[in-house]
Amino acid sequence: MKNAVSIVLAISLLLCSYSGSQSAVKNSKASVAEPDEFPVPKNIPGLLFYIQRDPNANTIIYHLNLDEQGQLSRKNPVDAFWIRYTDGGERRDLNYLQRKFAYGINSKPLGNATYELRSVAYSKMPLYLRKDSKNEYHVYANINKKECILSRVFIRIDGGTFWSPNVLYIELKGTETATGKTVTQRIKPV
């Protein structure tokens, strides 16, 4: 579980750096939305999971990377981009630094259409991209010691600085593969 905290802390630092509004961080105590009050990305082909955090609703989307023929890219099966809800829901590609040092995903084929995924920001926590019984891809993670299909990561930030945001908690949310129930886990950083 320490690995999950570390990966999300690394991601939170980098997400906070792109928030676009340091004043929003300073004023975040005024009106704090709960994770389920943030917008849920809709109508995104190949959506795998997304990351949201304070101080705004801007969201990083992780989706299947398909080629022109609709086939999964073997070299880079997962791609990421921003939905800038604070800019009217505009989609923006990640820039080079964000892809290479913050939000990008490295993948390693394991065979049988399965890939091990590792965040470029923190490579110690593996995620797995694989097909389910309906032949659809999902990202699998361990949430509350249960195998789950990861759907959302939420990071509650209350101020701090660019290099050291004050992370109050990290919430992982997914669907347990064995039961179909929603599983969430809040992790408080040490």
CA dist 47 and 58 (Å) reads 16
pLDDT digits (tens, 9 = 90+) for 86-113: 999 999 999 998 888 777 899 999 999 9
Classify the phi-psi angles of 49: left when phi > 0, otherwise alpha if psi is within -120 to 50, otherwise beta: beta
Q: What percent of the chain has pLDDT over 90?
A: 54
- Residue 29 clears pLDDT 50, i.e. is over it: no
Which of 124, 153, 122, 160 is closest to 16 using CA atoms?
A: 160
Residues 22, 8, 83, 136, Cα dihedral to 10°: 180
Residue 161 in tokens: 């600085």
> Sorting pLDDT into bands at 50, 70 and 90, what band is 139?
very high
Q: What is the pLDDT of residue 163?
A: 57
Dist CA 151 CA 159 (whole Å): 26
